[in-house]
Structure 1
Amino acid sequence: MSAQTPQCQLLARQDADYRGWLWVAPPRDGWLESGEGNVWSADLGVCEAWRNAGRQAYDALAAPPPQVPGAVLFWPKSHALGEWWLSALNTALPVGTPIQVVGENQGGIKRVPKILADFQQACRKLDTARRCTLFATRTDKAVRGTEAAWQTFTAGGFTLATHPGVFGHGKLDAGTQLLMNALTQSPLPAPGRRSLRALDVGCGDGVLSAWLAKQGCQVTAVDLSTFAVEATRRTLDANQLTGTVVQSDVYRQIAGTFEAIVSNPPFHQERSIDYGPTQRLIREAPTHLVEGGSLTLVANVFLPYPDWLQETFGGFEILADDRRFRVYRAIKARH
């Protein structure tokens, strides 16, 4: 199978023997998934694809095998997240293990030599093509621990845990703030229950989950990212609130029904627009709602969500609009 992504196309032309190597934070690419070695990723979709291909996958907060011939790190758009991965590799693998770092030029890969110098690691350029660059280094003694990347900040009356790569890292997103304001002014409908079962899809740092729990909801929070799942757990703990947090691709790992679904859904995958998760969030929502249950979400005004809401629910209302974001609510009809 031919490589599909630019980074993998660059790797495919190398004469290196990658058998048994560890692929770290890679994109979805059939060339990788049909090859050899193991993957270490925070993305549940990536891990599931590798497991479905009969390959070993490790999530982001679990250490990979200590002995591998080498590792390839796919540099993320967040440099702070890339630095976390470097710290994790230096911590998990023996000193001197070969590491290659690959990424798109527009994604900041050219800053990697300076970052490696800060880690006291030598670096050399191996190749450049497909508007990507490949560097080589070796693991060294960890100069910083992985826990140092976790931070807390205060917003919306909550102490929030945050980690590089988690949505809204270190600040309260303006769309989320508009959504919480709208929920305050237009409370969630309560079809027959005093304590609503609420599902927060794409929970990020957990601010919506904390807000819902503080209102007395029985909260379940889901996110595709291991980092987001851990951030939400830490946020709930920091505010002495309770909830169930699950790593899930939208509804895939969720059972049961809810009185309310709330979301600030993502529409970017790295630098590409991806409407797929939000389309599933909307179109599959009625299956996961009780009769009279509601879906409330916030989105940029230019996104095509009204059409999907109309087609799925037969109608919706706009709770708030600040010309940049809109908050929509749709109700599952009673029969």
Structure 2
Amino acid sequence: MSADTAVCQLLERQDADYRGWWWVAPPRDSWLEAGEGCLVSADVSVRAAWEARQRSALSPFSTGPASPPGAVLFWPKAHALGEWWLLWLCQTLPEGTPLQLVGEHQGGIKRVLKVLAALGMGCRKLDSARRCSLFETRTSALALDPEAVWTSFEAAGLQLSSHPGVFGHGKFDEGTQLLIEQLEQQLPQGKVLDMGCGDGILAAWMAQLGRDVTAVDVSAFAAEATRRTLKANGLTGEVLESDVYSALDGRRFTAIVSNPPFHQERSIDYGPAARLIQQAPDHLDAGGQLILVANAFLPYADPLERAFGSFEILADNGRFRVYRAVRR
């Protein structure tokens, strides 16, 4: 089976024996999923795909010290996230473990050279093709702790915890702000779901109002950030890693609230938002509401109409719109 993505096509032509190696934060690729080694990913949907093939898949937050023969880190678009993965690997794996770093040129892989030099880690280039490059180094004992990458900031009267792998890292998103303004009048009582919880601002804000909050996100980084945000504000709520509704076991809510993502790295991806809307009636009580905010240009009117029969726009500031649809 041939690789689907450019980075995996570059790896496919290497002579390295990757048996037992860790594939860290890779894209979905059939060559990887049918091959050798173990996945380490913060994305629960990617882990589920590997597990469906009876392949080993780990979360960085449930992985203790380990000794694989080596690891391949797929350098992410978010530079700070790549640095976190690098620090985490150096902390988790024995010193001197072979480590390869691969990525697209337009995704910033060439910046790895400066990062490794700043950390005092040697590096050599192994290969370059398909506008991708592959570098090789070894893990080192570093003074820097991955925990130092976490940041804290204040928004909407709350103390928020943030990580480079989380949407809107370190800032109060304008769309979320518009959504909160509408929720002050529109949020019903009872059990509410924060879908795509990010740094936990919506979950914490709703918990502060006394709602019974469940928060979900496909990203382990977001789930952990939300747990930390709730704790920092003395609030409680259930936080789950979930690919849209996958972890909810048919549970229903009086409201589903969301600022859904529409990007996957550099590409626009409406898939998660489409599933959020399409399946929302199955997770709402009678009279339950879906309240979401989205960039004004996004085509959410038709899927809302199909799923609910009707909807209304609660707010529109020219850049963002807040929609509400009610399960009849």
Could you say which TM-score interval applies, normalised by the shorter chain?
A: over 0.9
- 2-structure distance, mates of 1:198, 1:86: 37
CA deviation vs aligned residue, 1:9-66 (integer Å, no higher than 9, x gap): 1111111111111100001111001001101110001111111111111102133662
Which amino acid letter does the alignment assign opposite residue 142 of structure 1? Answer: L
Structure 1 stretches lacking a partner, 5+ long = none
- 2-structure distance, mates of 1:5, 1:266: 22
Answer yes or no: is 1:288 the counterpart of 2:287.
Answer: no
- 2-structure distance, mates of 1:127, 1:324: 43
Q: Per the alignment, in what secondary structure is the counterpart of residue 67 of structure 2?
A: coil
Which amino acid letter does the alignment assign opposite residue 18 of structure 1? Answer: Y
Q: Which moved more, 1:14-23 or 1:281-290?
A: 14-23
Taking structure 1 as reference, are residues 274 and 34 closer, same or farther at Cα in structure 2, changes over 3 Å only? Answer: same
Q: Which residue of 2 aligns with 1:187?
A: 186
Q: Which residue of 2 aligns with 1:172?
A: 172
Q: Per the alignment, in what secondary structure is the counterpart of residue 167 of structure 2?
A: coil
Q: Per the alignment, in what secondary structure is the counterpart of residue 216 of structure 2?
A: strand
CA deviation vs aligned residue, 1:193-239 (integer Å, no higher than 9, x gap): xx411000000000000111112110000000111001001101111
Task: Output aligned runs, 1:125-164, within 5 Å.
Answer: 125-164=125-164
Answer yes or no: is 1:246 the counterpart of 2:240.
Answer: yes
Q: Per the alignment, in what secondary structure is the counterpart of residue 11 of structure 1?
A: helix
Q: Which residue of 1 aligns with 2:31?
A: 31
Normalised by the length of structure 1, the TM-score is 0.96
Q: Which residue of 1 aligns with 2:227?
A: 233
Q: Which residue of 2 aligns with 1:5?
A: 5
Q: Per the alignment, in what secondary structure is the counterpart of residue 284 of structure 1?
A: helix
Which amino acid letter does the alignment assign opposite residue 187 of structure 1? Answer: Q
Q: Which residue of 2 aligns with 1:76?
A: 76
- 1-structure distance, mates of 2:158, 2:243: 26
Normalised by the length of structure 2, the TM-score is 0.98
Q: Which residue of 1 aligns with 2:48?
A: 48
2:320 to 320, 325, 333: 325
Which amino acid letter does the alignment assign opposite residue 217 of structure 1? Answer: R
Q: Which residue of 2 aligns with 1:215?
A: 209
- 2-structure distance, mates of 1:127, 1:143: 30
**Shift of the alpha carbon at 1:144?**
0.9
Runs of 4+ in 1 over 4 A off after TM superposition: none
Which amino acid letter does the alignment assign opposite residue 23 of structure 2? Answer: W
Q: 1:21·1:72 contact (CA, 8 Å) conserved in 2?
A: yes
Q: Per the alignment, in what secondary structure is the counterpart of residue 186 of structure 2?
A: coil
Which amino acid letter does the alignment assign opposite residue 160 of structure 2? Answer: L
Q: Per the alignment, in what secondary structure is the counterpart of residue 221 of structure 2?
A: helix
Task: Output aligned runs, 1:91-130, within 5 Å.
Answer: 91-130=91-130
Q: Which residue of 2 aligns with 1:201?
A: 195
- 1-structure distance, mates of 2:78, 2:61: 18
Structure 2 stretches lacking a partner, 5+ long = none
Q: 1:87·1:143 contact (CA, 8 Å) conserved in 2?
A: no
- 2-structure distance, mates of 1:103, 1:88: 18
